[in-house]
Amino acid sequence: MSGSPEYTPPKVWTWNKANGGQFASINRPIAGPTHDKELPVGRHPLQLYSLGTPNGQKVTIMLEELLALGHEGAEYDAWLIKIGDGDQFGSGFVAVNPNSKIPALMDRGGPKPIRVFESGAILIYLAEKFGAFLPTEPSERAECLSWLFWQMGSAPYLGGGFGHFYAYAPTKIEYAIDRFAMEVKRQLDVLDRRLAESEYLAGSQYTIADIAVWPWYGGLVKGWTYGAAEFLQVEDYKNVLRWADTIYSRPAVQRGRMVNRLSGDPSSQLHERHDASDFDTRTQDKLAAAE
């Protein structure tokens, strides 16, 4: 491999924490909690524990879209989980998501609390609960779910594959970057061909398929992800760019992208969200000005 010495795997893998790079403090080969910490609970039935990564944005966008449609039951508390600090390994979080990944949702609106983890499962749960953004006609529903699960299977190649080796790995490995760059460009071509024939991924309607795919691939072509827009020549994917701009023009999408966000302009960061008025009063620029 260009740029790195040849490596021969041992007969049995052992964990060398020193090889973990940027995420060595939180990555480990076992599951379960590392410390006792209960999760906070707010006043709304829906309690979200998350971070403003692409996977986290899926759920906050969905909730803001439901509220924009007038579904008052979609009001929610969004609590910040700092994965860099290991919050996802607290006992309370692990009880909601045994996989220790954001986002995780607790629905406390019924006689028995319901936990939902994995972003795709949360989107389907909310779509079915409120009867929105998931078509009911069988062929349209199948198309929507197909693209939703396309994202679940494809995005790890973008994030854990390309993003990791291009932006985060302690050593730049040509083979790994080339391998995953090729796959991400193939995925962008898949999307571009679909969006050449369809306004949205599932057809003429905006659905949870778009809500799931946009934070990853919309963010990529908008130049927000990994600093890789030029490297991947995203301007070649005209239909994806059109779709990304159309979705970003939605006010609910703009709000959802702000929730649990820790990077970017302070005015775009709403670390916790407990009421709709928080967008006007509790973004980081407003809190800093009030100090």
| pTM (predicted TM-score) | 0.95
92-114: average pLDDT = 97
Distance CA 210, CA 203 (A): 10
At residue 272, the 3 state secondary structure works out as coil
Please say whether the beta carbons of 201 and 148 come within 8 A.
no
What CA–CA distances, in Å, run from 171 to 3, 27, 177, 193, 282? 8, 17, 11, 34, 39
Over pLDDT 70: what percentage of the chain? 98
For residue 206 the two structure tokens come to 């905006």
pLDDT digits (tens, 9 = 90+) for 204-254: 999 999 999 999 999 999 999 999 999 999 999 999 999 999 999 999 999
Neighbouring residues of 124: CB distance < 8 A, sequence distance ≥ 6: 134, 145, 148, 208
User: Taking all residues of the chain, what is their mean pLDDT, rounded to a whole number?
Assistant: 96
Distance CA 241, CA 246 (A): 9
Please say whether the beta carbons of 64 and 247 come within 8 A.
no
Please say whether the beta carbons of 54 and 211 come within 8 A.
no
Distance CA 158, CA 263 (A): 20
180-190: average pLDDT = 98
Q: Is the pLDDT of residue 3 over 80?
A: no
Distance CA 237, CA 239 (A): 6
pLDDT at position 1 is: 42
pLDDT at position 4 is: 57
60-75: average pLDDT = 98
Residue with tokens 């992800």: 225
Q: What are the residues facing 49 on neighbouring strands?
A: 79, 104
Q: Is the pLDDT of residue 153 over 60?
A: yes
